Structure 1
């Protein structure tokens, strides 16, 4: 399975599949979609109304990756469950953190 993130000189871009009203805030590992794309599965308690779920996703990613909230931004998918998010920072450190988060969920 391929990793759902790409690195750049300024950070990483992550493909997500978000579940709003998911009962808890958390990252549930990597999933392969029917079209072959890989996504990082994220769930948040917030509802998908007026951008609340999007804000919750950005806060969760910033906290999980230990970066300032200002470093995480939504690139596309504001009204969709499938989103692209950019995270600014050291690409090597961010990639390592994403791998640790994803592999921890595989062991659960």
Structure 2
């Protein structure tokens, strides 16, 4: 698990690219930015919820502190830490 605790500052916006239906749940720091891999399918917001849970764990914060700002139905998402 990637430790992103240094990004856990209130008001921070975190952009990442999501890959649903992956073989594992993981957040990876790549050259182009953060990438999130989740095993769930992108139906009814299930993938968004899985990404929020995974990101919250990597940041060391409660998932209720994360708000999806952009990308509800897109692969590129932006979360804000409240």
Q: Per the shorter chain, which TM-score range?
A: 0.7 to 0.9
For structure 1, the 5+ residue unaligned runs are 1-6, 33-38, 89-108
Kept in 2, the 8 Å contact 1:31–1:41? The answer is no
Count of matched residue positions in the alignment of Structure 1 and Structure 2: 75
Using a 3 Å threshold, how does the CA distance of structure 1 residues 46 and 12 change in structure 2: closer, same or farther? Answer: same
4+ residue runs over 3 A deviation: none
Instruction: Give the equivalent residue in structure 2 for 1:17.
Output: 17
Kept in 2, the 8 Å contact 1:18–1:42? The answer is yes
Instruction: Give the equivalent residue in structure 1 for 2:27.
Output: 27
How large is the RMSD of aligned CA atoms in angstroms?
1.6
Q: In terms of Rg, which structure is larger?
A: 1
Which structure is richer in relative contact order (CA contacts within 8 A, separation 6 or more)?
2
Q: Which one has the bigger helix percentage? A: 1
Pair 1:50 & 2:38 matched? no
Query: Matches of 2:65 and 2:80 in 1, distance apart?
Result: 8
Query: Matches of 2:15 and 2:80 in 1, distance apart?
Result: 9
* Residue aligned with 1:84, SS: strand
For structure 2, the 5+ residue unaligned runs are 1-6
* Residue aligned with 1:64, SS: helix
